[in-house]
Amino acid sequence: MKKKVTIRDVADYAGVSRSTVSYVLNGVNKMSNNTKEKVMKAIKELDYQPDFTAISLSKKKSNIIGVIIPSFDDSLAPIFKENHYYTEILGGMEYVFRKHNYDLLISGMREPEDCKSWIQRRNLDGLIFLGLFPERLYAEIRLLDCPIVLMDYYGKHGDLYHNIRVDDEQGGYLATKHLIDRGHTRISFVGHDLTNISVDVNRLNGFKKALQEANLPVDEDLLFDGRGSFYEVGHQMGTKLLELGDKVTAIFASSDILAIGINKALQEHKKEVPKDYAIVGFDDLAISSYSVPSLTTIKQNVFNKGVISAQTILDIINQESSTPANITLPVELVVREST
Amino acid sequence: MKKKVTIRDVADYAGVSRSTVSYVLNGVNKMSNNTKEKVMKAIKELDYQPDFTAISLSKKKSNIIGVIIPSFDDSLAPIFKENHYYTEILGGMEYVFRKHNYDLLISGMREPEDCKSWIQRRNLDGLIFLGLFPERLYAEIRLLDCPIVLMDYYGKHGDLYHNIRVDDEQGGYLATKHLIDRGHTRISFVGHDLTNISVDVNRLNGFKKALQEANLPVDEDLLFDGRGSFYEVGHQMGTKLLELGDKVTAIFASSDILAIGINKALQEHKKEVPKDYAIVGFDDLAISSYSVPSLTTIKQNVFNKGVISAQTILDIINQESSTPANITLPVELVVREST
DNA sequence: TGTTGTTTTTAAATCCATGTAGTGAACCGG
DNA sequence: CCGGTTCACTACATGGATTTAAAAACAACA
């Protein structure tokens, strides 16, 4: 095991002081070309790799961003397993962070105190909250003294933070209007975790708006909501829908996984999609086009959402953006076989 | 912005030296109970959080494990997007690491040199290689002087590393035998990236073994292989299979996503599964049961694979395990609607 | 009381970089 | 040739912990 090459070795080898090496490395532009070359040569010949740990300690900056995802059951596994929305978004973040030499730390979260100590212990440069957390968390994290970006937050502390969302209401509207345009008048809405600050409420609002615009009644009996596994909820709701008989001919599900669960339940009961029931989902995850029939859905560019959240937090860190801003990304209807 | 509480503050507050605080914190058992209590009290009252960065620098240990995933197109996004195998496994790792106060850093990889410098810069305590990399990488990483765990590696450097796999050959065998038991004699194999050291080769071997055992010929024309997007490959191969007419009645796909692509293509051409074609996949990802029809598949406990790889690398770090060992986990046939 | 041995405690060096404050040399105009 | 400025570079303190080696405190015994 050979010893690690440090800045000191480079300095000695090049016959200069450590500060000089540091300056050359950090591009402080006042060294002579001669010295600069000597140092670069030494760095190359010794294969010197600066130590991020030492840099972090010295600069009080870790080049690490923490991403916090709500975990249940003390593990992220069920979320990773089912909700590909999260993993797709992480892909977008990783793409940006890698380019800027940042690393990405992922953690599930139990208590607000946990993220506080996580920041302090790891010297995190920023925190991205991905998903919906208990409302009191948003009050507490304000005190964290660390750049924060929220995603999909609709609660009352929204003005305090940078916030990336898509136009959920417009999405609900487009989905529902599409079904209406196809001639459907008895449309059901299936949501998940429909609290008053979730994305689903906004998708539901879009749903209602489209109905009203078409002078169709909003039948409360056709609105569904569930907790737990998205697929399971969809599957159960699909079965429930069947009991309603011809009171329903179309379904807007607030997420693709829900829609896929519904689709599965309907087909298990020998119903045909889209002949017997039309279904529209939301998200446009990869699996939506794999599905049989492929799923009409509201596409949100999840990858791009990850990219933008990453860029936003880097902007805050570099002081290029300071006043909290809501960024709302557009959505788009993608028509496939399920309608 | 209040200043961070350091070990020095704790020491002053408790009226002892910094070393004493450090000793108490690290459980070096030679302090008097009296001092111990004083220090603990100070820690609690000042809400002291030890700084991992400083600890890393001092101990040369970061409590961070790097997970390297093959990336194409300079981004992990396509992989995260499509191949849920990776994300499910990450869930298992995160579960273990969280319990042990380790964090998980994820990175795509381009060159072996990149991981070398990543380890050095971040002082990583261990590295897990998830997926298949160019063979020369496995020769080079041996020199890294850092605990390493491989997953799904079948190459010639296997003896040098701890290696977690499932019984791929047995899986291929079980899948194929199941199809044979169902009366199929003309069975096609669809693989992905079928190099001579991939998991797929072993699944193919199992496939061949089952055929031979049943005295069925191995028809090279029925063996397929593709590169790129799993779903796309499956979809293309599905279309190709149709051209073979009744030369094929059943398909064993070496991964669920392939199977789902095949299924989609077949159904687009009005073929019925399992009536016209029986399909068996491999992995048992969550989406396999969502699929229409739900997919018969070889279940590998992906979550558990993540758990075991995480535990293994922690064991190496804690010197509880030193000689490289292959761990082969069992697989299991899950029969669903597609056969 | 002095000697020896053990247990606690601490001062100071270390880990590896950054960055402030300061040094000496070259250069300038007068 | 002198005072002032600029330039190129360096010594050293700093960040927050660990850890070695040494000092202090205490105990036991003659």
pLDDT surpassing 90 at residue A24: yes
Q: Is residue B337 in a domain?
A: no
User: Which DSSP letter does residue B157 get?
Assistant: T
- By C-alpha to C1' distance, C14 is nearest to B58
Q: Are the Cβ atoms of B286 and A108 closer than 8 angstroms?
A: no
Question: How would DSSP label each residue in B292-312?
Answer: SSPPEEEE--HHHHHHHHHHH
**B179 and B192 both lie in a single domain:** yes
Tell me, yes or no, whether B281 and B176 share the same domain: yes
pLDDT of residue B116: 86
Q: Is B32 domain-assigned?
A: yes
pLDDT tier, A20 (very low <50, low <70, confident <90, very high otherwise): very high
Nearest to B331 by CA among B89, B168, B151: B168
Instruction: Determine the Cα angle at A169 with ends A163 and A175, to 5°.
Output: 135
d(CA B194, CA B230): 12
Question: Has residue A76 got a pLDDT over 80?
Answer: no
Residue B111 at interface with chain A, using a CB cutoff of 8 Å: no
Does residue A339 fall inside a structural domain? no
Whether residue A284 sits in one domain with residue A241: yes
Q: Does A56 touch chain B (CB under 8 A)?
A: yes
> B286, B306, B299: which is closest to B330 by C-alpha?
B299
Give dist(CA A56, CA A52) in Å, integer.
6
A22 touches strand C (CB under 7 A): yes
Q: Which nucleotide is nearest to B52 (CA to C1')?
A: D17
Shared domain check, B257 and B109 = no
Are the C-beta atoms of A140 and A112 separated by less than 8 Å? yes
Rounded to an integer, the average pLDDT of A172-186 is 97
- Both A158 and A177 in a single domain? no
Contact B263 A90 (CB under 8 A): no
Q: Average pLDDT, whole number, for chain A?
A: 92
| B80 against A99, higher pLDDT | A99
In Å, how far are A76, A78, A196 from A71, measured between CA atoms? Answer: 5, 8, 20
What does the longest C-alpha to C-alpha distance in chain A come to?
Answer: 86
Quick check: B260 contacting A, CB < 8 Å?
A: yes
pTM of the model: 0.90
Containing H/E element for A202? helix A199-213
The pair of three-digit structure tokens given for residue A65, joined into one six-digit string: 């961003």
Is the same domain home to B162 and B207? Answer: no
Nucleotides of C under 7 A from a protein CB: 7-12, 14-21
Domain containing residue B11: CATH number: 1.10.260.40
Look at chain A and report how many structural domains it folds into.
3
Q: Are residues B185 and B273 in the same domain?
A: yes
Interatomic separation, CA of residue A42 and C1' of nucleotide D10, rounded (Å): 18
Question: Quick check: B228 contacting A, CB < 8 Å?
Answer: no
Provide the domain limits for residue B36: 7-50
Nearest to B297 by CA among B307, B286, B308: B286
Q: Is B292–A267 a contact, with Cβ atoms under 8 angstroms apart?
A: yes
Q: Inspect the interface and report whether the beta carbons of B4 and A49 lie closer than 8 Å.
A: no
Asked whether residue A123 is domain-assigned, the answer is yes
- Structural domain contains residue B57: no
Q: Rounded CA gap, B205 and A201, in Å?
A: 52
CA of B41 to C1' of C16 (A): 32
* Residue A313, in any domain of the structure: yes
Pairwise CA distance, residues A267 & A244, whole Å: 16
**Residues A161 and A309 grouped into a single domain:** yes
Which comes out higher in pLDDT, residue A14 or B108? Answer: A14
Interface residue of B80, B86, B338 to substitute, partner A, most A CBs within 10 Å: B80
Let me know whether A256 and A195 are in one domain: yes
Question: Is there contact between B13 and strand D, defined as CB under 7 Å from any strand atom?
Answer: no
Å: B215 CA to D22 C1': 81
Q: What is the pLDDT of residue A111?
A: 78
User: Do B221 and B151 share a domain, yes or no?
Assistant: no
pLDDT of B53:
96
Q: Which nucleotides of D are covered by protein (CB under 7 A)?
A: 7-12, 14-21
Contacts of A258 in chain B (CB under 8 A): none
Q: Measured between CB atoms, which of B75, B145, B287 is closest to A287?
A: B287
Chain B positions in Cβ-Cβ contact with residue A87 (cut-off 8 Å): 80-81, 84, 87
User: What is the structure's pLDDT at B248?
Assistant: 95
Chain B touched by A53 (CB under 8 Å): yes
Confidence of residue A84 (pLDDT cuts 50, 70, 90): confident
Interface contact A84-B84, CB threshold 8 A: yes
Q: Looking at residue A198, which CATH number applies to its domain? A: 3.40.50.2300
The reply to whether A35 Cβ lies less than 7 angstroms from strand C is: no
Tokens representing residue B218 in the block: 């191995």
Nearest-CA distance from A329 to chain B in Å?
19
To test the contact with chain A by mutation, choose from B290, B291, B337 the residue with the greatest count of A C-beta atoms within 10 A, namely: B290
Q: Is residue A216 part of a domain?
A: yes
Answer yes or no: do A57 and B62 touch at CB < 8 A: no
C1' of C24 to CA of B56 (Å): 39
On the question of pLDDT at A268 being above 60, the answer is yes
Q: Which of B25, B215, B267 is nearest to A337 (CA)?
A: B267
From the list B51, B77, B94, which residue is nearest A106 (CB)? B94
Instruction: Tell me: do A287 and A185 sit in the same domain.
Output: yes
Per-residue pLDDT, A292: 92
Smallest CA–CA distance, residue A240 to chain B, in Å, is 18
Q: Which residues contact residue B189 at a Cβ distance below 8 angstroms, ignoring those fewer than 6 apart?
A: B204, B207, B222, B223, B224, B251, B252, B254
Q: Which window residues (50-79, chain B) lie with Cβ within 7 Å of strand D?
A: 50-51, 53-55, 57-59
Choose the closest CB to B53 out of A53, A105, A117. Answer: A53
Nucleic strand D under 7 Å from the C-beta of A161: no
Which residue ranges of chain B lie beneath pLDDT 50? none
Residue B282 confidence (pLDDT): 97
A 10 A CB-CB count for B228 gives 12
Q: Does A1 fall in a domain?
A: no
Statement to judge: residues B182 and B232 lie in one domain:
yes
CA atom of B30 to C1′ atom of C1, Å = 30
Q: In chain A, which residues from 40 to 79 place their CB closer than 7 Å to nucleic acid strand D?
A: 54, 57-58, 60
